[in-house]
Every structure is written in structure tokens, then in C-alpha cells.
Chains A and B, each alone.
Chain A
């Protein structure tokens, strides 16, 4: 069996090694995506005070500490059997919307967007934010930086610290919002809405109005008819902070809707011998391998998944764009709800719709009369000993599960990071890209690397939650190997080696 090795993936930290095995005919037999996982977080946490977890878990990752902080405080609410006052929940959600705006903005302009804005086949040295600036102008970069700065300011003001929040407590939030702060945040939210609409317009002008890109987005290159997961509110609308977990099948029908505390009843983890990674799947359907379809328990949890499982968006402008996306893909409404979109490149579009929703919802929260209430904490009275908290991290449903003794000292900790949900679909998308570009031993070299990267990036994986990372930028290399593993040819990218 020939082996093609691509290591590592540019623009992604993390030891993400991709192995492509060819069969005797020279076609793709299998692809493997390997990530050595960080170890020992549970051991590190056991024996500590449960209330320390919101500030410990947000150190797991330098990318989405806000998501870990929120999932952790929600787990503590349950562990300490305490209901936060409404204002505290709203402040948490407000901070979380500011985080979503920064996170989705960064992904679109710095990571995902370059593939479209600069072009999927542009040299990798140009497919980055500097290439985006060249194509759409310096003003866009200024807007991106301003957007990040104003929302980080909100996070810092309300969260007590810039990057690693400190304000979340079991039963609430440690700081109320002053009227002066509220007014400032209201203005910031309005600017966010304008920026989100502007970003959707860029997507519209550059991607949707270009037949080549539109064909790519709508092609079957990354089409997988899987199950989808996301959190929904009481009206089955997208919600990032709170709600029930809804799973829909590949035809769009609801398979199950459950409280996040019941995740272990519905989700199991499959183990493969070649990797430390565990592949979550839907228990009821079962693990059938890296395949899609009704009989395979593989599911995705991403911006597109969240939209796919929801009936609608709760804010008006996001709803308009939601409808437009589904109609562009020819999705029909069944039982009042759009059928799912399986074209994974639409995830970039879904991410921008979520950016708009986060901005609109931020404005709703900033203008909510209750947001400035001084009542932001319910003091916990007893320890229940078991707490599960979940939020939608930008990269998928994030679950924290803690157990403690009667003193609140942790005895067990389990986390399912957002990216983890998507390990199986990511592997499938990489395989699909490889299959399209390797036939009878012939490899479309540069396209292969680009398309594999695109497959990866659309899921916006954050490997640092779970992985050991490589030292910065390294050359992107492909080894072509004989069946016995001997390298017969090495390809390297211009400007990368």
C-alpha cells in the first residue's frame, strides 16, 4: 500500500498529521488524521476545589477560554444546586456574544475567508490575511482589528480579565453592569451588526456572485449526509449559551432532544488503535466507521450543524440570511423547517449568519432593562456532588462534567471539547478531498494540499484543547511512498520550505 504523508497543516497549530493510504490500483483506500492528545487534565483537576474550575479550565486553551469558562460555571451551578439570578445569566450570555463576534470574525478573515477571497488555488503564501487585505483593501483589516478590540474590551470589562475570564461563579457572576457600561456595550453591539452585515455582503459579492466559487461551495467535494447536533431554545431556535441538545437525522427529522446533563445516555466514544483521539457518535445509531448516511452514528457539531438542527434564528436579520442560505441551496421546508444542507463549505456562510445573530442578540441583551440589575448572585447552599454544563463553543457543543465529594472537592472530571465532536466528519472530508484528486496513482499535487486544508479549516478545529503543538510554521511536505513505505518522491510547497 502506498502512503502519502502530509505534515503538518499550515495555519493550524497542533500535531495534525494526515496519512493517505493508497490501494494497489493507486486509488485512495483510507485517510487518517492523527493528533497526539494532551494528557492528564483529569488527574490535574481531581482533588482541587470545584469552584476553581472556571479559572483552571479556561487555561486549557488559548483560543476559546470564554467557552470553557461558561461551560464550567454552568456545571458548577448544577454541582452546587443553585439557580443564578436572571441578570447573571444575561451578563454571561452578553459576554459570550462578544466572544462569538471576535471568534467568528477572526476565523472568517484570517483562516477560512482567504480560501475564497484570495482563491482556493492561490499560492499558500498569499492565502492569508495579508492576501485578503490586498484583495479587498486595508480598510477591511482595520475593521477586523477594531471589531476584535471593541469586543475584547467588553469581555475584559465584564469578565474581570482580558483573555482568561475570572468573573463566573457558581450561582452567578461576580460583577454587575453599570448604566455607563451598558450604554457603551449597546453602541458596540450596533457596530457589530453593521460589521456582520458588511461581512455577509463581502461573502455575497465575492463568493455567491462568482459562479466558480458558488459551484465549489455547492459541489459534492465535502458533501456528507450525517446527523447534526446543536443547542436550541424552547422554540427550537439557535442558542449558544443555553437550551436543549437537538440531534437531527440526515433527512432533517429530529432524532432526539435531550438535556445536556443526559449526554452520556446519547453519545458514546469510539476508539481507534492508531490515535489517542476518541470519536463521539450517536449511541442509538451505533458506530459503523467513517461513513455517512442514516445507519451511521457519525454526527457533526458546527455552525452549519447548529443551523441545520434549528427551526429558525431568534433575531430578524439573521433569520433573513438563514432563509436565504437554505433557499440558495434549494432546501425545501418539511414540517415547517428547512431540510439540512450537507455541503460542508456552507459552514463558512453559516458562521457569518451566526456572527450576525451574536451581534443582534448582544444588542437585545444590552438593551434589556434587567441587564443592569445589581442582583447577580445566588449564594449556593448545598453541594449536590454532580454537575454538567454545556454551551455551544464556536467549534461545536462543549460539555464539562464534574463530580465532587460533600466538601466540593473534585473526584471526577470529563470534558468533551467542541472540536472533538467533529473528528469523524473531518476525517471523512479529508478522505473525500483525497479521493477527488488521486486517481490510479496520479496526484493533482497543489490542489490536493489546498483541498485537504480547506476540508480541515471549514470545521475551524481547535486542536490546542486536545493536542501537543508543533513549533510554529513548518514546511508542508508530501511524501509519495512505495507499498513498502519507501519514499519515491517528495513534494514541497514554494515559499514554505
Chain B
């Protein structure tokens, strides 16, 4: 199954970078495990560009920060496109949210994944520029990677 893993977020905006940092670690694991049918990329663009990135894949995994205000920072949630809770960067300020971009893509005949999983990590600080994560969010990185790997049924050891 051709899979794309997308780490979303702003790499210099504190906890907003968590998706990108997780993707970097996942990429190392995938490379060393020789997972050739898995592509891992980093992005800081939602909406149409995010939809474009998924073209031609059977499965997409998106990792992104979220701010629901209802969870403790560092909480990890596995979401689908139909969930009402969304993460921070799947929506583009300048065009549309991801479900709408996907619907438009399908109308246009773009081959898009039948399975899209979004991993949301509750962020604490998304208002201050900085390259590090807050303690609570940093603590959830390893767990999230384990959850994603398990979910994908990869054996990386």
C-alpha cells in the first residue's frame, strides 16, 4: 500500500512544529527499516496544497498540532476527515479546509487516498516563535511515533 506520511506545521512556532519533528524521526525509522513504499514529507501548507501532496497515494497519515483547549497538552488523538475536531494546519487560510479540497480533488478525478488518518497532538504554546517544544508536548513525541507505527502495522525493529 503506497503510503505518504506528512508532518504539518510551522517549524519555528514552538509546539506548532510537533508534526514536523515527529515526521523527521519517522523518516529516519522508515529509512533504516527499508520501507520503500512509504514516503515521509514535511509541509507547512494546508488546503489544496495538502490535497496535492496526497495525489497518487493509497493511504495518507497527517501529523499536526491541535488546540482544542479541552485536552491536556501532549494528548494524542487519532482523527479522521469527518471528525468535527480538526488540527491546526490542515486548513489553508487562503483557500479551504482539507475535506473540501479532497472533495474538489475527487470531482476533478485526482487519484486520492481512500484512507486518511490525522494524528493531532494537543499543543500548549502556538503563539511564541521558538524552535523547541514545551515539556508536555515533547514528552508525547515518542508515544505518538509508537502509536503511528503500530497503526500502520509496520515492523521497524
Contacts and interface: CB of A to CB of B under 8 A. Distances in A.
Interface in A98-119: 103, 106-107, 110-111
22 contacts: A38-B129, A39-B128, A40-B129, A41-B129, A60-B12, A62-B10, A106-B95, A107-B94, A129-B104, A130-B103, A141-B104, A141-B108, A163-B45, A163-B49, A468-B127, A469-B93, A469-B126, A471-B86, A471-B87, A472-B87, A472-B88, A472-B97
Contact of B94 (A44, A103, A468, A469): A103
A148 B48 contact: yes
A8 to B, nearest CB: 11
B111 to A, nearest CB: 14
Contact of B93 (A40, A462, A471): A462
A56 B129 CA distance: 11
| Most chain A CB within a 10 A radius of its CB, from B10, B94, B127 | B94
Interface of B: 10-13, 43-46, 48-49, 52, 66-68, 85-97, 100, 103-104, 107-108, 126-130
B93 A110 contact: no
B94 to A, nearest CB: 5
A130 B90 CA distance: 18
B48 A145 contact: yes
3 residue pairs, one from A and one from B, having the closest CB atoms: A472-B86, A44-B129, A13-B93
A464 B47 CA distance: 14
A111 B104 CA distance: 14
A62 B97 CA distance: 14
Interface string A52-64: 0000100110110
A44 B130 contact: yes
A40 B44 contact: no
Contacts of B12: 44, 56, 59-60
A14 to B, nearest CB: 7
Given A62-B44, A148-B48, A40 B128 contact: yes
B110 to A, nearest CB: 8
A464 B93 contact: yes
Contacts of A148: 48
| Most chain B CB within a 10 A radius of its CB, from A40, A149, A471 | A471
Interface in A7-60: 11-14, 36-41, 43-44, 56, 59-60
B43 A463 contact: no
A133 B126 contact: no
A379 interface: no
A43 B129 contact: yes
A130 B127 contact: no
A135 interface: no
Contacts, number: 105
A133 B105 CA distance: 12
B127 A38 contact: yes
Contacts of A110: 48, 94-96
Contacts of B46: 62
A128 interface: yes
A189 B146 CA distance: 47
Given A40-B130, A130-B100, 13 more contacts: A36-B127, A38-B127, A59-B44, A62-B45, A62-B89, A110-B95, A110-B96, A129-B95, A129-B100, A138-B108, A164-B44, A469-B88, A471-B68
Interface range on chain A (Cβ under 8 Å from partner): 35 or more
B128 to A, nearest CB: 5
Interface in A229-268: none
B86 A473 contact: yes
| Most chain A CB within a 10 A radius of its CB, from B87, B90, B127 | B127
Nearest to B69: A471
Nearest to A42: B129
A462 B45 CA distance: 13
A468 B126 CA distance: 7
A106 B129 contact: no
Contact of B96 (A14, A128, A142, A464): A128
A471 B85 contact: yes
A63 B128 contact: no
B104 A130 contact: yes
Given A40-B130, A133-B107, A145-B108, A63 B10 contact: no
Contacts of B100: 128-130
A38 B96 contact: no
Contacts of A128: 96, 100
A136 interface: no
A37 B100 CA distance: 28
Interface string A388-421: 0000000000000000000000000000000000
A59 B107 CA distance: 32
A210 B11 CA distance: 46
Nearest to A139: B108
